[in-house]
Amino acid sequence: MHIPDFSDDAQQTERTRATVMRYHYSWKDRDLDAVMALYHPDIKYHDFFQQRCMGLAELHDYVRNNLPRQPGEALEHTDRMRIDGHTAFIQYRISLQGSGGLLAFRTGEAITVRDGLIWRIHEYATLMREEREQTTAGASRPALSRLGLSARQLGLLAQDLDEYMQREQAYLDPQLSLQQVAAATGYSRNQISHLLNQVLGQSFYRYINQKRLQHLLAGLDAGNDLQRMDDLAFAAGFNSLSAFYSCFRRHTGLSPKAYLKQISLRARTQDTP
């Protein structure tokens, strides 16, 4: 059995840097084979979100599911790479927009190199609520680990969900269910539900009603009246006026009547020479 090189010398930091940079660019270029080739046969990847340790055989599907969607796409790095001998420390952030404001996963990896290959990876992460600058990792980790998704995959889930809503306008169906959305997007009901409730801080129906409201507001103009707005609410997928009025006030801070008055006044002001 081959024993990894544990020795250290003046050039080890640069050798580690070269390996980790090849690893970084292989991820960035979406080169699955290149990423896998950089893993040591005895690789141990400690995944924070799934709370498990993966070996080489398990990493192929994991890497494939985490690679960037677009060529050249990169994570938002929050600090320079720090390298000490055999180990490199990398920090980055993945941002999502929730009902309580901007959320970000501040994620880091400690990568240990042996024999020019990635021998150990320890991933750690903290869920931050940017508006409040409060760490909520302790409360969030159990729920997030049940998703079975990494921080990157959570970002992709949120992106896929939003793109599906924009493309299909599924929210226009007043009977739209979580099961229908899960079937259409390829995610499980639990993954979508936990993302919305535990990460983005909103229920499925509140999320859908927010999409309906955005659709309605995009079609409003200064000529609309309150009765017309009620009709537009039903056309946008709201199944009751009480749900519509509650959603409207929550997201605009105004009643529909006050909002119409505001945009009408704004239109008259712009028309005044």
pLDDT tens-digit map of 43-78: 999 987 667 899 999 999 989 888 887 766 666 777
**Residues facing residue 8 across a β-bridge:** none
With CA atoms as reference, report the closest residue to 97 among 199, 182, 215: 199
Residue spans of alpha helices (H) in 5-84: 12-28, 32-37, 56-66
* Distances 251 to 154, 246, 247 between C-alpha atoms, Å: 24, 9, 6
Rounded CA gap, 98 and 127, in Å? 12
Taking 50 as the threshold, does the pLDDT of residue 229 lie above it?
A: yes
Which residues, in sequence order, are CB contacts of 209 under 8 Å at separation 6+? 171, 238, 243, 244, 247
- Nearest alpha-carbon partner for 215 in 190, 255, 248, 241: 248
Q: What pLDDT, in 10s, does the model give residues 160-182?
A: 898 899 999 999 999 999 999 99
- Give residue 140's pLDDT: 45
Q: Whole-angstrom Cα distance, residue 219 to residue 215?
A: 7
The Cα–Cα gap between 14 and 227 comes to 70
Please check whether residue 63 is in contact with residue 35, taking contact to mean a CB–CB distance below 8 angstroms.
Answer: yes
Residue 265 reports pLDDT greater than 50: yes
CB 171 within 8 A of CB 214: no
Residue 154 contacts residue 199 (beta carbons within 8 Å): yes
Give me the mean pLDDT over the 216-242 stretch: 86
199 vs 182: CA distance, rounded Å = 17
Mean pLDDT for the chain?
81
Q: pLDDT tens for residues 83-131? A: 989 999 988 777 666 655 556 677 788 999 999 999 999 987 666 554 4
Query: Which of the four pLDDT bands, split at 50, 70 and 90, describes residue 8?
Result: low
- Which pairing describes strands 39-47 and 117-129: parallel, antiparallel, or unpaired? parallel
- pLDDT tens digits for 175-202? 999 999 999 999 989 889 888 887 778 8
Cβ–Cβ under 8 Å, residues 94 and 74: no
- The three-class DSSP label of residue 145 is helix
**pLDDT score, position 56:** 95
pLDDT value at residue 273: 58
pLDDT tens profile 232-258? 999 999 999 999 999 999 989 999 888
pLDDT for the residue numbered 133: 42
pLDDT of residue 226: 77
Q: Could you give the domains of the chain?
A: 12-202 (3.10.450.50), 208-271 (1.10.10.60)
Sign, Cα dihedral of 231, 215, 243, 182: positive
Quote the pTM value.
Answer: 0.64
